[in-house]
Amino acid sequence: MWGMTDVTVRFGPVTALDSVSLTAEPGMVTTVVGGDGAGKSTLLRVLAGLLAPTEGRASRPPDRKLGFVPTGSGVFGDLTVAENVEFAAGAYGVALPSRRVDDLLLHAGLAEFKDRLGGSLSGGERHKLALVMALLAEPVLLVLDEPTTGVDPVSRMMLWRLMAAATARGAAVVFSTSYLAEAERAGAVMLLDRGRSLAFGTPDDLMRQVPGSIVTTDTPSDPTRSWRSGARWRQWSPDGSVPGEPVEPRLEDVAIVAALAEGGAA
C-alpha cells in the first residue's frame, strides 16, 4: 500500500501541506479534491517523489513502476504522438512491441493521430497521450494531476476507462480534481483545503458521516451556513435544530460542511 503519513511541506513561511496522511490502495482510484491553492499539486509531487516533505514520510514504488502525469500533460509538442510514446518507453527502459503501442493508442482514441505533432493535439488528446505514456511500464502507482480539467466529455470518459483498466491490473491510482461530481466515482476521496485534509474516506462514508443535519429551504435563517442549490437554499445545522426539509447530502454538501466546520467559507 502506498501513500503518505503526517506530511508537512513548507516553502519559507508558507505551509503548503499541514500534516496530511493518505493511503493509495492497489486496485482503487483515490481522488484529491480541492480548489486553487488547496495543495493538490504539492501533495501529488510528494507522492510521486518529485518533492521531499519538510516533515513526515511518503511510501512509493521504484521510479520505473510509478506513472506520473503533471498539470498540463507533459507531452512534447515538437514530437509526434508515436515519438512521444517511444521517448517515454525509452525513459522507462521498456521494450514495447508495436502491437501494445497500437492497442494503447486505440483504447485512448489516438490511433489515427500517430503521426500528428503533440503541439497540434487538442487538450483532451494531449491528456490521453500523457496517460498512455504513464501507463507504458504498467505502473503499480499512477499519480495524475488534474488529468480531466478542461477535457471534453468524450475524452474524459476515455481517461476514466484507461484509469479503470489500470486498477483492474492492480494499480493504485491517485488523481486530483476540482470536479466533485467526478470524485463521487472514486473508491476514496480526500477533501483538501489550504493544505489541510478536511476529510478522507469512501464517498458513501463521507456522506453518511456529515455532522448535524442539512435542510433545504427558501429562506435560510443563517446565511453563514447556507449555500445555493438550484432554485433553493441548503442550510447546515451542527446540532440539527434548524427547521426545514431534511435532504440526503451529496459530496458537494460534504465539502461545504467540512469547510464550514473548519472555519472556512462555503
Question: Each residue of 18-65: pLDDT tens digit?
Answer: 999 999 999 999 999 998 889 999 999 999 999 999 999 999 999 889
Q: Answer whether 42's CB lies under 8 Å from 17's CB.
A: yes
Using CA atoms, how far apart are residues 220 and 139, in angstroms rounded to an integer? 49
- On whether both 65 and 119 belong to a single domain, the answer is yes
* Residue 223 included in any domain: yes
pTM over 0.85, yes/no: yes
114-144 pLDDT, tens digit per residue, is 889 998 988 888 989 999 999 888 899 999 9
Is the residue at 67 inside a domain?
A: yes
Do both 154 and 23 map to the same domain? yes
Convert the pLDDT of each residue in 186-201 to its tens digit.
999 999 999 999 999 9
Banded pLDDT at 97 (limits 50, 70, 90) = low
Q: What is the tally of structural domains in the chain?
A: 2
- Among 181, 203, 225, the domain-final residue is 203
**Which among 203, 231, 251 is the end of a domain?**
203
Q: Is residue 266 included in any domain, yes or no?
A: no
177 and 217 part of one domain: no
Mark whether 19 and 105 lie in a shared domain. yes
Q: Specify whether 197 is located in the same domain as 221.
A: no
151-163: per-residue pLDDT in tens?
888 888 888 888 9
Enclosing domain of residue 219: 204-261
Mean residue pLDDT of the chain comes to 90
pLDDT computed for residue 157 by the predictor: 87
Which CATH number goes with the domain that contains 31? 3.40.50.300
What share of residues in the chain are helix, strand, coil (percent, to 5)? 35, 30, 35
In angstroms, the CA 200 to CA 63 distance is 26
Residues 108, 73, single domain; the answer is yes
